Amino acid sequence: MLIPYKLRVPSERPPFLTLLLIAANVVVYIATSDGLQVKEWAVDAYALTGQNASLVRMLTCSFLHGDIFHILGNMWFLWLYGRPVEGRLGALRFLAVYFLGDLAGSCLHLLFTQAEPTVPSLGASGAVMSLMGSAAWLFPFSRVAVFYWLSYIWVGTWEVRVWIVAGAYFVLDVISGALGAVGVANFAHVGGALGGLVVSIVLRGKRDSAAAGEALSILDEGSGLDGLTRSDLLALNKNSPGDLGALLALVRHDVSTGRQLPPDVLGRFVAAFPAIERTVPSHEFTGMVEILGASGTLPAEVHMAAGRAAERDRDLLAAQRAYSRALATPGLTEADAEFGVFKLAQLLEGTPVGRQSALAHYRDHARRWPMSPFHGQVRARIASLERGN
């Protein structure tokens, strides 16, 4: 017997719907049971049988549970698999997996129990198994910690891939259902798992690669992004190109070790530089741009942003280098060029040996942009520097 107790996948967003579904199931159980097992009137009113089959009954029966152990087991699986699946798919797609998987489970159960049309079916097992099927598609190579036992001899814990645990449950349900096991709606489990798998594929749920799955499992252990190896970070960036945290961790790693960023990662850094500038301290952003831009691979606008960041951090030498590199980079807009020449002249003027260079930049500015809003300041500085002030 295998009991999963920890799915090593970090949450991508708060599992509000998972918690809401758990709360709804618990409230219904309290209202329809004596605390230990379900009341007969609730089974008659809300459970599913071959004789009363309808979409409404398929929905109501999924919130009904036979006894305390039934609901505890289902709610544990709902939390274990619902949290990461909801985080990956988002609210609407998560609900589609949950309820369509539940319907698939009910339909398959009815198909294989036609000889017993009066036996009631109840419980969230089909819906919960849909989440396991979804997790097997989305996170097949992440690790899940399981408690196992075989009689009283072989007992322990270990970690295996998500798809292995899901596959083991699926096979056991198929075998148990084929052998006619009593008391468990095995084919509802089978239908739910298949339904969750198919819905996740149809809804284009992003599937982790083997390398990304292992990286996520390590990340879930609490090491943090900075504790991952470069290969793990590369896998995460390939798997989730929009993840700003993974991008920053890889950039920090390569900047600190002198490695050259892969072209696609560098392209994402350029595309995300406004968000990165807002996220990291000014001095760190300036340092990143200076190191990454040393090979001439960054556009002028990124160097301009680094110059502004260095000024905010009062690192005037770094600002001077950033503006100089921006002015030497092709593709600089006319507005940025006008601003860059003015700022560079100001910065040079403040250095002991830069007054002549500053004067040259002020004169260049006056010649190229006579209608600039800085023109008055530029003419005043030219006059002052020419007088030797």
Tell me: the pLDDT tens digits for 73-108?
999 999 999 999 999 999 999 999 999 999 999 999
Average pLDDT, the chain: 91
Per DSSP, the three-state class of 101 is: helix
Beta-carbon count within 10 A of 241 CB: 15
pTM exceeding the 0.85 threshold for the entire prediction: no
Residue range 244-259, pLDDT digits in tens:
999 999 999 999 988 8
- Residue 180 scores a pLDDT above 80: no
Two structure tokens written together for 12: 């991508």
* 179 has a pLDDT exceeding 90: no
Alpha-helical runs (H) found in the chain: 16-32, 40-46, 55-60, 68-89, 91-112, 125-138, 162-178, 186-202, 210-218, 230-239, 244-257, 263-271, 273-279, 282-292, 300-312, 316-327, 334-349, 355-368, 375-386
pLDDT band at 113; cut points 50, 70, 90:
confident
Q: What is the pLDDT of residues 11-32, one digit of tens each?
A: 889 999 999 999 999 999 999 9
* Between residues 384 and 180, the one the model is more confident about: 384
pLDDT value, residue 174: 93
Domain 224-332 has CATH 1.25.40: yes
Contact 100, 129 (CB under 8 A): no
3-state secondary structure of 90: coil
Task: Report pLDDT for 205.
Answer: 92
User: Residue 115's pLDDT is what?
Assistant: 63
**What is the pLDDT, as a whole number, of residue 116?**
80
- Give the Cα separation of 327 and 310 in Å (integer): 16
Distance CA 244, CA 101 (A): 33
Structure confidence at residue 79 (pLDDT) = 97
- CB of 158 within 8 A of CB of 146? yes
Instruction: Report the C-alpha gap between 75 and 127 in whole angstroms.
Output: 11
In this prediction, residue 285 has a pLDDT band, given cuts at 50, 70 and 90, of very high
Per-residue pLDDT at 293? 87
SS3 67: strand
Q: What is the DSSP-derived secondary structure letter of residue 299? A: -
Domain boundaries, the chain: 2-202, 224-332, 344-389
What is the reported pLDDT for 119? 84
| SS3 per-residue string spanning 146-177 | EEEEECCCEEEEEEEEHHHHHHHHHHHHHHHH
d(CA 94, CA 250): 30
Q: What is the C-alpha separation between 208 and 206, in angstroms, rounded? A: 7
Burial of 326 (C-beta count, 10 Å sphere; 0-12/13-18/19+): buried
Cα–Cα distance measured from residue 98 to residue 196, given in angstroms and rounded to the nearest whole number: 7
CA distance 134 to 143: 15
Domain boundaries 2-202, corresponding CATH code: 1.20.1540.10
Q: Scan for tokens 């814990």, then name that residue.
A: 157
At residue 281, does pLDDT exceed 90?
Answer: yes
Is residue 132 scored above 90 in pLDDT?
yes
Dist. CA 353–CA 360, nearest whole Å? 13
Q: Which of 55, 158, 67 is nearest to 107 (CA)?
A: 55
Q: Which of 311, 378, 307, 365 is nearest to 335 (CA)?
A: 365
Maximum Cα interatomic distance, the chain, rounded to a whole number of Å: 106
